[in-house]
Each structure stands twice: as structure tokens, then as C-alpha cells.
Amino acid sequence: MRAGNCIWNMTRLLTRRLGDLCTGAILAILLLTAQIDGGHAQTDNQAVLVLDHSGSMWAQIEGTSKIVILRDSVKAMFDEYQGKIDLGVIAHGAQKSQACDSIDTVKAIGAIDPKSDSQELEKVNPAGSAAIAGSLNAAGELFDKNGIRNIIMISDSTDDCNADPCAIATSLKQRNRTLIAHVIAFSEQDLEPLRALSCISGSTGGTFQTASNATELNTALRNAFEATQRPPQPNQIFGSENSLIPEVLLSDDPGTIVLSAVLSSGASPLSSGVIWRVYSIEIEADGSYKQLHKLNDAQTAITLPPGEYLVNAAYGQANVTKRITVWPGKRTEDTFNLQAGGLRLYATLANQPLLADNALTFNVFSEESDQFGNRRRVIANARSGVVLRLNGGTYRIVSKYGDANSVMEVDVTVESGKLTEATIDHQAGKVTFRLVERQGGEALADTIWHIYSSDGELVRKSGGAFPTHVLAAGEYSVRVEHGGREFAARFAIGVGDRQQVEVIKPQ
């Protein structure tokens, strides 16, 4: 089907769905048809280059900094496309270290002047954060409201400014249905995390490419520039299976999504333990998302009205959330890669079995910390020998043995698709306290015990005739209250010790 006929059919569908569609809206669609039908592309071709200038661009590939490779590739495109396209250039991260508002317009949209534009590009250097979403939004603001527009983004990292590039790309597409974004992920090492940026190209009908060296970057950038010279296809304007379609083009027939989850790439789908939650895409007044469904089958199918949804797959503490599109009358499959593994924790005391396992707990904290240096607790009071399901990454494990100060901290890395086991050795001993009137005498009841570390910090307060505690190895003092009087003593405990501390009450 020719592009013009396809869009005319879309127009007829719009008219049926909306009833009385205004003449101006039909005229706008017919004008768009005239722009791309019969090979009559627009002459005012515009594009914006979005270039990563975050600090990581100083890293080298084959002995050359990535920023130098990037500049050389862009300069080659300046020469090749002079007179063929009006181009703008935006750089993010070039001015302020670790600042997410460092987004600079290096060149406003206009004719390419290879010499002058290359000189301007040389003036900006990597310094700060990767503001992917912010720079994408800034690029969209440079364009006119109408016409076919392209964004070409080159990045070596994902957004580290707590923003959502996917949402920005979707918003730009909604405001200008002819905007198309192309993404080039540029990194010598692990390119898998950068594939998260494919949502930008996917939701706008553009291309997603990867490059790990200068040759691949030159090829990818040339492909992206060539794409700006071709008139867009109807599915790039109105949406495809990988992008947003206008709601008015959807029928009311429900669609079905078949869901499964894997621990890592290439792994078999999980057969149990997965919990699925489906949320509305709309944000509630309190900032939350409304939960529509909860399913406990590891592999499940759910029928929903056409539209977009947020779907969360949880496997223990491991989870991932994706935006999915349900198409009218269509059955599609989606596999969620949890990138998760298992963690099993044990503990010993001086490399020997613990005296009592029920006095042992583990708290698991995330690797990231907030602005105050506090880590988020992922799992509280986990027990020894239990497999904990976690997303791949590094975690801080805090193990506490007993009710006092025997606390050990270690960092453990969980690998996707693998079971990691870790044993934490506590450097502590067990102490029982007794207040007596003579050595070896009967312990006195109604006694209050205050245990202090060598630096005077209160470690534990307890009461009774025989209080028992596990204490980290070291030197201590104890203050005892009984019958309105106070007594004091000093003691030391070594790793693995089991001892009694007997305080004699003076007559």
C-alpha cells in the first residue's frame, strides 16, 4: 500500500471514531500525506545532534579518548552533509561536574559550516553527569512545531540524573508525531546496560545502534544521518509495535499479553515464584500508580483493553518493571529479564559453629546511598541458610549475632543466574555476668548491669542474676546496681571465648 493511501485510511478511521472530526485536523493529515507521498520529501530537513560530554567520555578506546573519537566522527558528518540538512548540536555534562543542569546548545539549528562548527565543538569538554532525558527534551525544544524532525543521540552511559528518557521520548512524539530519534550506544566494554536507551528510538520510530570503536561509530553515525534524508514511513508517524500509537486509532477489542520471566539472558523461563503486577500508566493524585491486577503464575497470560500499562515482575526481592503496549485483538509475548541471582548467607564464631543460630540476623542493603550516605535496606532480619532472591549487583551485608555489639559488615556481589554463598565470621565471645557476696557464691537477683566499651560507650543494659551476652572481642567495664549501691569491674573477652564475669559485692 502506498503511504498516501495508508494515511487516508487512517483519516477515515479517525473520522469514524470521533464522529465529527474538524476540517482543520483532516487538512493537517492530508498535508502530511502530501509531504511524504510520491517521494516529495520536505526541503527544510532539520536534525539535532545530542552528544554525551559526561566525565566518562575521557575514557580511552584503543589509546584514544572517546571524546576525540566522537569529535572526529561528527566533523566528518559536517563535511559530508553540508548543504543537505539544517543541523543543531547539544552537549550535556560539559560545564559542571556532577550537575544535571549542564545542557548546552553548541550550535542552533541552521546550515552547517564545517570549519566554524568544528571549532565550536572543540570548545566543550567532558566534565559532569549524563543528563540524557534533559538533553533529549532540550533537543525537542529547538525544533519548529511542525514538519519532520530527527534527533541523533550518542551516549556512553544511561541517564544518571534520576530522570526517565523513555517518558521524555514518548512526550516528544505525542507533541510532534513526525519526530524521530536515533540512538547510538558508544562503549568499548559492556553495551548491555545501554540497551535501555533503545526505548528512545523505539517510541519514536528511529534506529538503535551500538559502537565499540572508531570504525563502528563512523558507520553508525553515517547510518543515522542517512536516515534523516529518507521520508518517514507511515508507521514511523502513527506508531508501530515498538512505539506509541494515538489512542483514537485503537479499536475496543481487548488484546492478550503472554508473560514469562528469566533470571538472565538465555536462561529458561522461571516455573514458580514470580508475582506479576499490572498498573495503570496514569499517575494518581498522590503520585502513585493504580494497581489493576496481581497474578501469581510464573508464566501467565492476561487479557486487557488496548493501551499502555506498567507491568512489574517480582521474584523475591528481585524485580523489573516494563512499559508494555496491548494491541487490539492481538496476542503478543513478552519475556522479562530479571537479571537476578540468589544469595545464601551463613555465619561462624571464630571460624567455629555459632553457639545459637536463633541469635543471628542479616540485614541486606543496596549499593547506592542517598545524599546523606544512607543505604536503602533491601531485606531485614534474614535468616541463615535461606536463599535470598536479588537483582544482580553489589550489596552490603550487616550481620548481627546476639543482642549487643557483635556486628560484622561485608560487601557481596550477586551475579545474574547464579547462587552466591557467603560466610561471615564473627569476632566475638560469650559472657555471663554474676554478682556474688563471695567468690563462687550464689548469684544475687534484682541486679542491673551496665556494660561499657573501652571508649566509655554503653553497649548493653540488662537485669537479672545471670545475664548473658555475645560481645565483640575487646576490653570492657561493667557498672552494677544492687540494693541501692553501685559496684564496678573491668574485664576482657577474646575471639571465641566463653566465660563468666563475677563481681564480688563488698560487705
Which stretch of 139-143, 226-230, 391-395 has the lowest confidence by average pLDDT? 226-230
- CATH no. for 340-426: 2.60.40.1120
Grid coordinates belonging to 354? 555459632
Grid coordinates belonging to 440? 563462687
Within a 10 A sphere around the Cβ of 325, how many other Cβ atoms?
Answer: 23
**250-337 and 340-426 share one CATH topology?**
yes
Report the CATH superfamily, name and number, of domain 42-238: von Willebrand factor, type A domain (3.40.50.410)
CA-CA distance, 402 to 416, in Å (whole number)? 32
Express each pLDDT in 322-338 by its tens digit: 888 888 888 889 999 99
Within a 10 A sphere around the Cβ of 111, how many other Cβ atoms?
Answer: 11
63-77 mean pLDDT? 93
What kind of fold does domain 250-337 have according to CATH? Immunoglobulin-like (2.60.40)
In the chain, where are the structural domains located?
1-40, 42-238, 250-337, 340-426, 428-504
Residues facing 308 on adjacent strands? 325
Cβ contact 53:105 at 8 Å: no
Q: So what CATH class is 428-504?
A: mainly beta
Express each pLDDT in 142-157 by its tens digit: 886 555 689 999 998 8
CA-CA distance, 431 to 436, in Å (whole number)? 16
CA-CA distance, 275 to 319, in Å (whole number)? 9
Express each pLDDT in 261-283 by its tens digit: 999 988 999 999 999 999 998 88
Q: Is 173 helix (H, G, I), strand (E, B) or coil?
A: helix
Within a 10 A sphere around the Cβ of 149, how many other Cβ atoms?
Answer: 26
pLDDT band at 128 (very low <50, low <70, confident <90, very high): confident
Instruction: Identify the residue with better confidence: 25 or 365.
Output: 365
Give the best-scoring range by mean pLDDT among 51-65, 72-86, 313-327, 469-483: 469-483
> What does the DSSP assignment read for 323-354?
EEEEPTT-EEEEEEE--EEEEEEEEEETTB--
**Widest distance between CA atoms in the chain:** 111
Report if pTM > 0.85: no
